[in-house]
Amino acid sequence: MRTYDETTYGDLIAEQYDRINRISPQQTQAAADALAELAKNGPALELGIGTGRVALPLREKGIAVHGIDASSLMIEELRKKPGGDAIPVTVGNFGDVAVEEKFSLIYVVFNTFFALLTQEEQVQCFANVASHLLAGGVFVIEAFVPDLSRFTRNQNMVATNVGVDGVRFDVSMYDPMHQRVDSQHVIIANGSIQTYPVQLRYAWPSELDLMAQLAGLKLCERWSNWQRSPFASGDGAHISLYQQA
Ligand SMILES: C[S@@+](CC[C@H](N)C(=O)[O-])C[C@H]1O[C@@H](n2cnc3c(N)ncnc32)[C@H](O)[C@@H]1O
């Protein structure tokens, strides 16, 4: 049986990623607009850059973007797009932040921080990010707020699309001890079945703030969307901004 590592998600979903990710172009543009302001014309680094969904519009706004991604197939998809070959990408585990430069902005969006599957890796990532921020630089995380009420007997199955030619659903199992959720996106269409595995370790905003504190960073703002609405209890997602304490 194939084991899951940092390349698995990207390599298996790369060809379909842009078609099935369900994020509107308007949401992506709003993210790029907000990130461009935070970069203040300085260089930016995206952890888990993928196919360049956010990095490309950010670069179009004049920001020099560098990326890290473990999946060479996701990077291939980025390279096929206009401007995609102008973005330097380091192939590797983004938790290591194995790049020489420092940045005004380091960001990790669309829950990708949770792709680091242990608390230790997540803590280390914060520390590595902190050592790659220029003075006054910002680390931005966009992530969901865990909602354990989704799970019954530590399992969940939810339909995400039901069409005439096919159906898409997500099947998940949850391990409360390790804060792990292992899922498969399943697509049945035109008589064939495709499965796309995704594994993550979720963390509450408060745990992320503590990881930041361990790395010498502190929370400076928390929004509930890219329009910068202030985060409120009950919001399902957050965008958290950290700076040197
Ligand atoms: C959900 S996609 C997000 C891509 C892009 N940031 C976006 O918002 O569209 C997650 C990306 O992170 C990459 N990834 C996951 N775990 C990784 C790791 N530990 N190190 C490097 N890249 C990783 C995957 O290959 C994939 O490209």
pLDDT of residue 110: 98
Q: Domain 8-146+202-244 class?
A: alpha beta
Question: Would you state the structure tokens that stand for residue 166, as one six-digit string?
Answer: 């096919």
Does 84 sit in the ligand 1 pocket, CB within 6 Å?
A: no
- Mean pLDDT of all residues in 19-28: 91
1 has a pLDDT exceeding 80: no
DSSP three-state, residue 142: strand
**228 Rama sector, left if φ>0, alpha if ψ -120 to 50, beta otherwise:** left
Report in angstroms the alpha-carbon separations of 127 from 91, 111, 131.
Answer: 20, 19, 6
Torsions phi, psi for 236 (to 5 deg): -85, -10
Query: Would you give the DSSP letter of residue 125?
Result: H
User: What is the separation of C-alpha 89 from the centre of its chain, rounded to a whole number of angstroms?
Assistant: 16
Tell the residue nearest (CA) to atom 14 of ligand 1.
48
Query: Would you give the DSSP letter of residue 150?
Result: G
**136 Rama sector, left if φ>0, alpha if ψ -120 to 50, beta otherwise:** left
Confidence band (pLDDT; 50, 70, 90) for 191? confident
Could you state, in order of their start, the residue ranges of all structural domains in the chain? 8-146+202-244, 159-199
pLDDT of residue 21: 84
pLDDT of residue 143: 98
Tell the residue nearest (CA) to atom 25 of ligand 1.
10
What's the rounded Cα separation, in Å, for the pair 236 and 125? 23
Does 53 sit in the ligand 1 pocket, CB within 6 Å?
A: yes
Best residue for ligand 1 mutational test, from 11, 35, 71, 113 (most atoms within 8 Å of Cβ): 71
* Dist. CA 117 → ligand 1 center (Å): 13
Q: Which atom of ligand 1 is nearest to the CA of 46?
A: 6
Does 67 sit in the ligand 1 pocket, CB within 6 Å?
A: no
DSSP three-state, residue 203: coil
- Mean pLDDT of all residues in 80-94: 97
- Mean pLDDT of all residues in 72-100: 97
- Mean pLDDT of all residues in 57-82: 98
Tell the residue nearest (CA) to atom 9 of ligand 1.
53
Which residues have a Cβ under 8 Å from the Cβ of 193 and sit 6 or more positions away?
186, 187
Question: Would you state the structure tokens that stand for residue 222, as one six-digit string?
Answer: 């928390």
Best residue for ligand 1 mutational test, from 5, 6, 111 (most atoms within 8 Å of Cβ): 6
For residue range 139-186, what is the model confidence (pLDDT) as tens digits? 999 999 999 999 999 999 999 999 999 999 999 999 999 999 999 999
* Dist. CA 66 → ligand 1 center (Å): 14
What's the rounded Cα separation, in Å, for the pair 94 and 90? 9
The percentage of the chain sitting over the pLDDT mark of 70, rounded to a whole number, equals 100
Does 222 sit in the ligand 1 pocket, CB within 6 Å?
A: no
* Dist. CA 10 → ligand 1 center (Å): 6
**Do the Cβ atoms of 95 and 116 come closer than 8 Å?**
yes
* Dist. CA 164 → ligand 1 center (Å): 31
For residue range 192-232, what is the model confidence (pLDDT) as tens digits? 999 999 999 999 999 999 999 999 999 999 999 999 999 99
For residue range 24-67, what is the model confidence (pLDDT) as tens digits? 999 999 999 999 999 999 999 999 999 999 999 999 999 999 99
